[in-house]
Amino acid sequence: MEAAKKSTRRKAGDAIRPERVNAILDALQKTYPKAVCALDHKSAWQLMVATILSAQCTDVRVNLVTPALFKTFPTPRAMAAASLPELEELIRTTGFFRNKAKSIQGAGRVVTEEFGGKVPQTIDELLRIPGVARKTANVVLGSWFKIADGVVVDTHVLRIAHRLELTKETTPEKVERDLMQILPQSEWIDFTHRIIAHGRAICVARKPRCADCPLEPLCNAEDKTFASH
């Protein structure tokens, strides 16, 4: 048994060789050609707020909350002037609503006072906004401005990057660094959308649907499963 296990292990570097990475990208493109950000939004500001609210919450739940939120407080200036109790009530079902209310109120203030009411287009400026870390900044830059400055690493990307042996790191920052090194920059934005779609549809956290997976021939994950026939 141990010998069999050893025989299935890849040599160091095999998992991230360009030919394999390109095969993964091709399979994802063919399977999810129209994958886009799942958070409903009509502006960079709305996308930023929605992404802040999506922490520890499903995109479906966020999409149920944001219409009333943006109708009540449609601009960064209006969000900044909102009272915390009002914001908390509107976003309560997203979880951690008190901290999130402070973040989006603070984001409205900084965007209004420091950036003239417009969401900035650089990673350094975005990271100055309350509630915005690299994930949110990359979402806004990639999905709205089409600027590939980094790779969004959410729970789906983290899980599947490990299963595909594209990284051995455990923190989002280090996983992002690894992915940026092995993926062509032109693929950074679409890769995230497609991996997230794949993580929701097939490569789920528990009992991944490996028998239906277009990446199965390329995958050597230890927790692979196959549907019974």
Q: Which are the catalytic amino acids?
A: 135, 154
| Cα→Cα distances 170→107, 161, 208, Å | 28, 10, 20
Please check whether residue 50 is in contact with residue 140, taking contact to mean a CB–CB distance below 8 angstroms.
no
How many whole angstroms separate alpha carbon 8 and alpha carbon 3? 9
| Cβ atoms within 10 Å, residue 128 | 13
Q: At what angle do helices 172-182 and 188-201 cross, to 10 degrees?
A: 120
| Cβ atoms within 10 Å, residue 115 | 16
